Amino acid sequence: MNPHVRQILQVILGVIIGALVTLLAVRYREYRHLVRTSYEDWNKLNVVLDLVEKNYVDTLNREKMTDEAIAAALASLDPHSVYLPPVDLKESEEDLSGEFDGIGIQFNVPNDTAIVLEVIPGGPSEKVGLRKGDRLLKVDDKVIAGVRFPQDSMVRRMRGPAGTKVTVTVGRKKEVIPFVITRAAIPVHSVDAAFMLNTSVGYIRLSKFSVSTYKECKDAAQDLLRQGMSHLILDLRDNTGGYMDQSLLLADEFLSKGDTVVYIEGRHRDREVYQADGKGLLQDMDLTVLINENSASASEIFAGAIQDNDRGLVMGRRSFGKGLVQEPFYFTDGSGIRLTVARYYTPSGRCIQKPYDSEEEYLYDIYNRYAEGEVFSADLVKLDSSDVHYTRGGRQVFGGGGIMPDVYVPMDTTRVSAFYLACNEKATQMRFASEVFDRYSTRLQAVDSYPAMDRFLAGLNLRDSFRDFALKRDGISCTEEEWEESAPYLVPQLHALIARFSRLGENAFYKYYLPVDTTVEQALKML
């Protein structure tokens, strides 16, 4: 072969070999990180974590990564499957456990200073001398007044293991008093109020379904029966739920033997039907149940059972629509998850859970009910006409999420004046009530009957005293016409806030406030 040709062929071969080597190198770089994965056995997730562990540039925070990965995974399932770190889990369970360790007070923050509303009888705070109306200034060395300190952070600082001490400094009139308080177990009540609205109608307001709810309600009902109750108004508005078994026990008090209360069913949970045993003490009690858009979960189970069995009248506005059953799973580090394992269904077969296909729509559902006018008009309520069910008596009810009441009561906005809104904006009413307490604390705390409270309130001349306070403290003025427009709604609210500081407590608050509650007003009219 011609030497010149051989040389050319060698060059060409070299180029080809070089190209092949380059191509192989590129392919190697492309495929050297190709790892075999599978979705079937969670292999891909484990592979990713292993790769991060072996290759990531910086030191890893395993705790943070693990918690966030779990939270993200559960968030992709449904709105109520959640991961709870140790602190959140402890707080969540304390709220429903029937007791917690703390100092034994209830307080509110009308502006930027917390005011004691209730000192639990026999609790640690009462033993050392804290009183209603005291302003909370410091917890240990931490100033919490006048600095817009978060309310949940105040609670955390005052709670702690039983037997430990905390110093709470309060303002009382012109005095500043430090109290050293030994924390102890504090009972948590779910019945906010229980009293007679008139000679035959009893009223019970239930805030949650905690571990003690059934006993509390039963005790309250028996007390009202002794006072002559023949009709009960059970107020579940703003009741966000809690333990299902407490809802079942309470419904059992009103239903006949064999009546279905609720049933649950899920992919890995066979259908379980819960029925009344017929031993309830209130089976013959006339019943009205009040609900609204914040009534959820266990409160919806109760309302649905009463409605589907035609056992009583459900009034108010469409409930929240939380019908997913969470089962808790606990971890050795104090954390845990609540995993949705089934759905709740009312006796007629309605699924309580509202749709959650769109996360945004679910999160803003309550806001949208206001924005779209549902809370102001029954005609604007979105019912799923394709999901029809029937009560025991043959009445038509609809699924699609939540419990639609038998009698819809829209939110009342007719009494809201500019003066009232301005006062609400600055919490003028609550601060006025606190000033009344400061001025008349001895007299007010001695009041132990409603006739005595009526006489005390009549002597306050709220028409002038509240208007003067609003003008001097908050720069809010009103004409005579504006006062006349506001007074029918504003004065009962002021009476309620002031009466709460007396020995009559929360019962007095609702006793004075309910006469201007349009839902209760409508319920009484329908009797």
> At residue 73, what is the residue type?
A
**pLDDT number for residue 8:** 59
343: pLDDT confidence band, cut at 50, 70 and 90? very high
Distances (CA, A) of 61 to 64, 86, 401: 6, 17, 41
pLDDT over threshold 80, residue 18: no
**pLDDT number for residue 262:** 97
Which residues participate in catalysis according to the annotation? 297, 308, 322
139-143, 159-163, 411-415: segment of lowest average pLDDT: 411-415
Which backbone phi and psi does 413 adopt, to 5 degrees? -115, 5
Q: How many CB atoms lie within 10 A of CB 316?
A: 27
- Whole-number average pLDDT of the chain: 88
Beta bridge partners of 193: 205
Alpha-carbon span 241 to 213, nearest angstrom: 11
Give the three-state DSSP class for 288.
strand
Helices then strands, counting H and E runs in the chain, come out as 18, 21
Per-residue pLDDT of 265-311, as tens digits, reads 999 999 999 999 999 999 999 999 999 999 999 999 999 999 999 99
Which backbone phi and psi does 407 adopt, to 5 degrees? -125, 115
Alpha-carbon span 294 to 241, nearest angstrom: 10
CA angle 301, 244, 299 (to 5 degrees): 35
Alpha-carbon span 158 to 166, nearest angstrom: 7
Q: What is the DSSP string of 99-141?
A: EEEE--EEEE-SSSSEEEEEE-TTSHHHHHT--TT-EEEEETT
Query: Can you say whether residue 257 is alpha, beta or left, with left for phi > 0 and alpha for psi between -120 and 50 degrees?
Result: beta
Average pLDDT on 241-253 reads 95
Alpha-carbon dihedral of residues 72, 74, 76, 77, nearest 10 degrees?
180
Go through the chain and tell me how many residues it has.
527
Query: Can you say whether residue 288 is alpha, beta or left, with left for phi > 0 and alpha for psi between -120 and 50 degrees?
Result: beta
**pLDDT number for residue 3:** 61
Average pLDDT on 334-339 reads 90
Six token digits for residue 443: 């007299």
Which backbone phi and psi does 63 adopt, to 5 degrees? -60, -50
Alpha-carbon span 515 to 159, nearest angstrom: 36
The conformation of residue 273, written as its DSSP 8-state character, comes to E
Six token digits for residue 70: 């779990």
Q: What is the enclosing helix (H) or strand (E) of 72?
A: helix 62-75
Q: Please identify which residue in the block is written with the tokens 């640690």.
A: 124
Q: Among residues of the chain, what percentage have pLDDT more than 90?
A: 54
| CA atoms lying within 13 Å on the CB side of residue 379 | 0
Give the three-state DSSP class for 331.
coil
Pairs from 196-201 (Cβ < 8 Å, separation ≥ 24): 196/224, 196/227, 196/228, 196/229, 197/233, 197/514, 197/520, 197/524, 198/524, 199/228, 200/228, 200/229, 200/230, 200/231, 201/229, 201/230, 201/231, 201/232, 201/233, 201/524, 201/527
**pLDDT number for residue 136:** 93
**pLDDT number for residue 230:** 97
35-49, 417-431, 441-455, 460-474: segment of lowest average pLDDT: 35-49
Which backbone phi and psi does 392 adopt, to 5 degrees? -55, -35
28: pLDDT confidence band, cut at 50, 70 and 90? very low
Average pLDDT on 420-431 reads 86
Per-residue pLDDT of 360-409, as tens digits, reads 888 889 989 999 999 999 889 888 888 999 999 999 999 988 999 999 99
| Domains assigned to the chain | 38-76 (no CATH), 99-187 (2.30.42.10), 191-408 (3.90.226.10), 418-526 (no CATH)
Give Cβ neighbours of residue 497 (< 8 Å, ≥ 6 apart): 429, 430, 432, 433, 509
Answer yes or no: are the C-beta atoms of 276 and 257 closer than 8 Å: yes
Six token digits for residue 397: 């009810």
Per-residue pLDDT of 76-103, as tens digits, reads 999 999 998 887 777 776 666 656 788 9
Average pLDDT on 39-46 reads 78
The sheet that has 407-408: what strands, in order across it?
A: 191-196, 201-206, 231-235, 286-291, 313-316, 407-408
Higher-scoring residue by pLDDT: 110, 459 = 459
Q: What is the CA radius of gyration of the chain?
A: 31
Q: Are strands 231-235 and 260-266 parallel, antiparallel or unpaired?
A: unpaired
Q: Among residues of the chain, what percentage have pLDDT more than 70?
A: 91
| CA atoms lying within 13 Å on the CB side of residue 24 | 6
- Whose CA is closest to 113, among 80, 146, 142? 146
Alpha-carbon span 211 to 243, nearest angstrom: 7
Beta bridge partners of 274: 262
**pLDDT number for residue 9:** 55
Six token digits for residue 517: 């509650």
**pLDDT number for residue 95:** 62
pLDDT over threshold 90, residue 313: yes
Give the three-state DSSP class for 474.
helix
CA angle 272, 276, 281 (to 5 degrees): 155
Six token digits for residue 509: 């608050």
Six token digits for residue 390: 């029937």
61-70, 96-105, 228-237, 342-351: segment of lowest average pLDDT: 96-105
Alpha-carbon span 212 to 220, nearest angstrom: 12
Higher-scoring residue by pLDDT: 158, 40 = 158
Q: How many CB atoms lie within 10 A of CB 320?
A: 27
492: pLDDT confidence band, cut at 50, 70 and 90? very high
Give Cβ neighbours of residue 54 (< 8 Å, ≥ 6 apart): none
**pLDDT number for residue 20:** 56
Q: Please identify which residue in the block is written with the tokens 């209360």.
A: 261
pLDDT over threshold 50, residue 179: yes
